[in-house]
Amino acid sequence: MTLATQAPSNVLSDVPPHRLSIVVPMYNEVENVEPFVTAVHEALGDYGFEWELLLVNDGSRDGTRPALDEQARLRGPHVRPIHLWRNFRQTAAMQAGIDAARGDVIVTLDGDLQNDPKDIPKLVARLLKEDLDLVAGWRQNRQDGMLLRKVPSRIANRLIRKITQLEFQDLGCSLKAYRASVLKRVSLYGEMH
């Protein structure tokens, strides 16, 4: 992991010391690799705590692998590509990143640039300041189609809220912050992410 050299941002002013692992599954996203890695570095430029970026190549066939390796070479050892030998799908890729994570806090998000990495410090601050195990993001301006993605997502979220009595807005959003001690006791499989 690398240690940021600047003081923590205001959002993190009262947050206890921690190490952060960011886990990002990627499949055939060569065009997103450089902009995504740049966005994460811009978002965490003044983070103030150790962090690593685990980019899980889920068997991509489009040049994602060399693009990830190049970013790791350019950015340093805190950028860690993990290459799966074939496409195991998003949940397995996420599990591979979680297994390799070294941080006390693990943040997951997609590499398709629909989640803003600038939200990472806010989620981590809420997780640690409020002593929570999970903080979930909420997709506000989704780029998905209404009928095939948004409507089923709204129905699923209502059903999950009713069954679990938990007040999450969007459990389908992959941007989440977890305590590693809790998440590492969960085994993901199928489409469980």
Residue 57's contacts (CB-CB under 8 Å, 6 or more residues apart) are 26, 27, 64, 65, 68, 81, 82, 83, 84
| CB-based burial, 145-175: b 16+ in 10 Å, e otherwise | eeeeeeeebeeebeeeeeeeeeebebbbbbb
pLDDT in tens, 34-87: 999 999 999 999 999 999 999 999 999 999 999 999 999 999 999 999 999 999
Q: Which of 1-5, 26-30, 115-119 has the least mean pLDDT?
A: 1-5
Interatomic CA distance for residues 103 and 117, integer angstroms = 17
The residue assigned the tokens 């600038």 is 118
Token digits for 180? 């590693």
The pLDDT value recorded for residue 7 is 47
pLDDT for residue 186 is more than 60: yes
CA 25 to chain centre: 8
Interatomic CA distance for residues 43 and 18, integer angstroms = 17
* Mean pLDDT score across all residues of the chain: 85
CA 99 to chain centre: 14
**Mean pLDDT calculated for residue range 126-138:** 90
**DSSP H/E element including 135:** strand 134-136
**Mean pLDDT calculated for residue range 149-160:** 61
Comparing CA positions, the residue from 85, 91, 101, 87 lying closest to residue 27 is 87
pTM: 0.82
pLDDT in tens, 160-177: 556 666 666 556 678 999
The strand ranges marked E within 62-129 are 79-84, 105-108
How many CA atoms within 13 Å lie on the side-chain side of 160?
Answer: 13
Token digits for 7? 């003081």
First to last CA, the chain: 25
**Mean pLDDT calculated for residue range 94-120:** 95
